[in-house]
Amino acid sequence: MLELNKIPFPEAKRLADGGRALTILPVGVVEEHGAHLPLGVDSFAAEIYSASAAPHLEEAGYEVVIAPTINYGVARAAIDFPGTLSLEPETLRSMVVEIGKSLARHGFNRLVVLNGHRDLHHMKALDDARAMLISAKAAQVLVVGFSHDPEMTAACYREGVKQFYQSPRPDREGHGGESETSVALHGFPDLVKRDMIGGLTPNFDYDVEAFRNETKDYSSISDGRGYFGWPQAARAETGAKLVAIRGRNIANVILKAWGAP
């Protein structure tokens, strides 16, 4: 696994000419995830899942190239929380299309957008970018992770993980809750405010439909807490398992779509 911004151009040429390159573009956002987690959770998670998926793709014969993360996205539901930043969907869509076209120009024509942020407008923008790149015949493109297609999201993130949840209400775990906090404790523990977690009360009785459909803002449906579920149920060991399984899930989805190179 190589990072595109850490290699010189002759190495990029070798990769593109080799015909086995597969580029992963992690996409996140700057968005609140409760008082205990940093604003960059979804960007960091997208990077962690990219690194976890890469060895499985390499085993199948691909040369995995990780492009620099898009750290900004569309975050309308949480926009009232200090520090949350939002792009317009067209801005995000243009970024992905322009990055995809630049990659394709040099022969990197397999692009996997690995998205760590669940927001309907954000996911739609990524899907629109995918469609534009495909119709321009610029590249093969998949959007994995949190996808506009709920079956894709389930295949990447939900398959094979539920038994590891400690929460008494795994069906209510969401944004900033057990899963994301566990991944944070595993992947970027120094950025977690551990001393705060013990004081976080469960948020199980929120308006699930409003959360899923983004018909109400996160602040009002979480009483200003900014998380959904129970961060106290999170464990670093759970995070390690989630990252390993979801990385394999994501690789499986890609291999099922494209096969080996």
Smallest separation, CB 31 to Zn ion (Å): 7
Per-residue burial over 26-37, b if 16 or more Cβ lie within 10 Å, else e, is bbbbbbbbbbbb
42 contributes a contact to Zn ion by CB under 5 A: yes
34-42, 129-137, 222-230, 242-250 -> range binding Zn ion (CB under 5 A): 34-42
Q: How far is the CB of 219 from Zn ion (least distance, A)?
A: 15
Interactions with Zn ion, residue window 188-247 (CB under 5 A): none
Stretch near Zn ion under the rule CB under 5 A, chosen from 41-49, 50-58, 125-133, 243-251: 41-49
Question: What letter does residue 233 receive in the DSSP assignment?
Answer: G
CB of 119 to Zn ion, least distance (A): 9
Q: Which is nearer to Zn ion, 73 or 100 (CB)?
A: 73
Distance between CA atoms of residues 91 and 232, nearest Å: 36
Residue showing the smallest CB distance to Zn ion in the complex: 42
Stretch that binds Zn ion, among 17-25, 33-41, 106-114, 224-232 (CB under 5 A): 33-41
Which residue number, 100 or 239, has a Cβ lying nearer to Zn ion? 239
CB nearer Zn ion, residue 41 or residue 243: 41
Least distance from Zn ion to the Cβ atom of residue 78, Å? 9
Name which of 33 and 93 has its Cβ closer to Zn ion.
33
- CB 136 to Zn ion: min, Å: 30
- CB nearer to Zn ion: pick between 41 and 103: 41
In angstroms, what is the minimal distance from the CB of 20 to Zn ion?
A: 32
Binding of Zn ion by 32 (CB under 5 A) = no
Applying CB under 5 A, the residues found at the interface with Zn ion are: 41-42
